[in-house]
Chain A
Amino acid sequence: MGKKNYEITNNIRTLRFFAGEMTQQQLAEKIGASRQTIIAIEAGKYSPSLDLAFRIADAFERSIGEVFEYKIIKE
Chain B
Amino acid sequence: MSYPEKKAIVSTLAGIAVLVAYCIYVNGKVKAGEAASDDLKFWAGSMLLFIVIGIAASIVIQIIFHILLSVSITVREQVQTGKSDNKQIERKIAVEMVEDEMNKLVELKSMRIGYIVAGFGLVAALIYARLGFPLAVMMNIMFISFCAGSLLDGISQLYFYRRGVTHG
Contacts of A34 in B (CB 8 A): 2-4, 98-100, 102-103
Report the nearest B residue to A29, measured CB to CB.
B95
Contacts of A48 in B (CB 8 A): 101-102
Cα–Cα, bound, A52→B2 (Å): 20
Q: Is the CB of A46 within 8 A of B166?
A: yes
Report the nearest B residue to A1, measured CB to CB.
B168
Cα–Cα, bound, A33→B100 (Å): 5
Contacts of A52 in B (CB 8 A): 100-101
Contacts across chains A and B counted by CB atoms under 8 Å = 52
Contacts of B42 in A (CB 8 A): none
* B164 on interface, CB distance cutoff 8 Å: yes
Cα–Cα, bound, A47→B166 (Å): 7
* A37 on interface, CB distance cutoff 8 Å: yes
Contacts of A49 in B (CB 8 A): 101, 167
Cα–Cα, bound, A40→B2 (Å): 12
Q: Is the CB of A36 within 8 A of B4?
A: yes
Q: Is the CB of B164 within 8 A of A46?
A: yes
* B163 on interface, CB distance cutoff 8 Å: yes
CB contact list, B128-168 vs A, under 8 A: 161, 163-167
Cα–Cα, bound, A32→B101 (Å): 10
* Interface CB pairs A-B, < 8 A, 27: A28-B95, A32-B98, A32-B100, A33-B101, A34-B3, A34-B4, A34-B98, A34-B99, A34-B100, A34-B102, A34-B103, A35-B2, A36-B103, A37-B101, A40-B102, A43-B164, A45-B163, A45-B165, A46-B102, A46-B164, A46-B165, A47-B166, A47-B167, A48-B102, A49-B101, A49-B167, A52-B100
By a beta-carbon cutoff of 8 Å, the part of chain A in contact with chain B is 25, 28-29, 32-37, 40, 43-49, 51-52
